[in-house]
Amino acid sequence: GILLPETAEKERPEQGRVIAIGPGRKTSSGKIIPIEVKVGQKVLFTKYGPNEIKVADKEYLIAKEEDILAIIE
């Protein structure tokens, strides 16, 4: 069987909708690798990865692509 730590229940992934994306990430050679998620998709992401920002009284999360665990919609 698989043993899950007691904190597993508290540290479940979060979910949200992608509202904007950047151009992608740059490799050491300068090539841009496009991001696989698209605006409007619903995603699961790590709970502690994204940074919170506030713009015009709205709160947003900025996440790196590696913080995204799955596209669910």
Tell me the per-residue pLDDT of 5-38, one tens digit each, with 9 for 90 and over: 666 556 678 899 999 998 888 999 999 999 999 9
Sorted by where each begins, the domain ranges of the chain are: 6-71
Q: Can you give the pLDDT at residue 8?
A: 58
Asked whether the predicted pLDDT for residue 42 surpasses 80, the reply is yes
Query: Between these two residues, 41 and 9, which has the higher pLDDT value?
Result: 41
Say how far apart CA 15 and CA 47 lie, in whole Å. 9
Closest CA to 44 of 16, 23, 18, 11: 16
Which CATH fold would you assign to the domain 6-71? 10 Kd Chaperonin, Protein Cpn10; Chain O (2.30.33)
Distance between CA atoms of 60 and 17, rounded to whole angstroms? 10
Whether this model's pTM surpasses 0.75 = no
Q: What is the mean pLDDT of the chain?
A: 87
Asked if pLDDT for residue 62 goes beyond 80, the answer is yes
CB–CB of 68/41 below 8 Å? no
